[in-house]
Amino acid sequence: MIFIATKVFITAALTGAVTPKDLNEHIPTTPEEIAEDAYNCWKAGAAIVHLHMRDDVGRGTMEPARFKKTVELLRARKECDVIICCTSSGTFDFSQSRTAHFKSIPEIEMGSYDIGTMNWGCAQVFENSPQFLEELAKCYKEYDVKPELEIFDMGMIGNAKHYLKTGILDQPLYCQFVLGVLGGMESTVENLQYLVRHMPENSKWSAFGIGKGHLPIMYAALALGADGIRVGLEDNVMYSKGVKASNVMLVERAIRVVKEFGKEIATPAEAREMLGIKPLVR
């Protein structure tokens, strides 16, 4: 049974690991830029910020010190109660630890959980082995981090159901449907409908489309009763034809769309309650 949400939370995915700043100068890449952008997206109405880090030359990195500095700068804004979600897959250099920041930064409340291996962009293997997924789930349970299941195709829903059955994951799941990555499912309304129909019962869910799929998937997700929608420069660098986006612009448009659809914007506190995350304690 799918519960139709009356309140919708907005996730702002600010940076990503791949897109170069040459394509859009608004992509934040330093801890200072990322924390400032996260704060501004929260002020605009985002309940969750999804964080990646970049190294000194702009490549994705899992360096814990960069996560720590960004989180400290953001949490120094005492009024800001945004939910902090960090990636577990911010680089294709898998010699870097993908869990160290979750173990050392208690302010991280949510973490990405890419629940299967795939050919990313038909250029390289995005490896998420069964052994790693078990290790990551144990890490999240130990450090009280809510898994955000990033689902790129139907096989990953099968994995989610298996991990629920075996106790590696716990209900309720939070599914984030990612459509439009070459190697995964295309960003079509039909594909989103199919994934939503087959996700585990009682799951909370959100969705986004890459690039040109951004708006169609946003509208379709709202029509299908999504709990959340995701926007941001990690997924889409253009606001409209010939107009570069900023993260705040994309959040502000999502806010307008949700309200025009007749739904309310969930606050961070409300999103925590929806997702089963503990209230923020300062």
Domain boundaries, the chain: 7-274
DSSP state of 210: S
- Tell me the mean pLDDT in the region 128-132: 96
Confidence of residue 126 (pLDDT cuts 50, 70, 90): very high
Q: What is the pLDDT of residue 214?
A: 96
Q: At what angle do helices 130-142 and 154-165 cross, to 10 degrees?
A: 60
Average pLDDT over every residue of 118-141: 95
Give me 186's structure tokens: 């295309």
pLDDT band at 6 (very low <50, low <70, confident <90, very high): confident
pLDDT on residue 94: 77
Average pLDDT taken over every residue of the chain: 96
Inform me whether the pLDDT recorded for 201 exceeds 60.
Answer: yes
Please give the Cα distance from 170 to 149 (Å, whole number).
12
Cα(262)–Cα(28) distance, rounded to whole angstroms?
Answer: 32
The Cα 233–Cα 246 span in angstroms is 7
Instruction: Provide the CA 109 distance to its chain's centre, in angstroms.
Output: 12
Answer left, alpha or beta for residue 58, where phi above 0 means left and psi between -120 and 50 means alpha. left
Q: Where does the pLDDT of residue 282 fall: very low under 50, low under 70, confident under 90, or very high at 90 and above? A: confident
Q: Which of 71-85, 115-129, 244-258 has the lowest mean pLDDT?
A: 115-129
Q: Is the confidence at residue 122, as pLDDT, over 90?
A: no
pLDDT higher than 90, residue 110: yes
For position 189, what pLDDT does the model report? 97
Angle (CA) 211 160 152, round 5°: 15
CA distance 189 to 234: 21
The phi-psi region of residue 280 (left if phi > 0; otherwise alpha if psi is between -120 and 50; otherwise beta) is beta
pLDDT tier, 3 (very low <50, low <70, confident <90, very high otherwise): low
Q: Which distant-in-sequence residues (6+ apart) come within 8 Å of 226 by Cβ?
A: 5, 8, 205, 206, 207
pLDDT at 4: 65
Strands 174-179, 204-209: pairing is: parallel
- What percent of the chain clears pLDDT 90, i.e. is strictly above it? 94
For the chain, give the longest Cα–Cα distance: 49
Q: Examine the pLDDT at 270 and tell me if it is beyond 70.
A: yes
pLDDT at position 95 is: 85
Q: Count helices and strands (H / E) in the chain.
A: 9, 15
Architecture in CATH of 7-274: Alpha-Beta Barrel (3.20)
Q: Are 115 and 163 in contact (CB under 8 A)?
A: yes
pLDDT category, 135, cuts 50, 70, 90? very high
pLDDT tens, position by position, 220-240: 999 999 999 999 999 999 999
d(CA 86, CA 275): 16
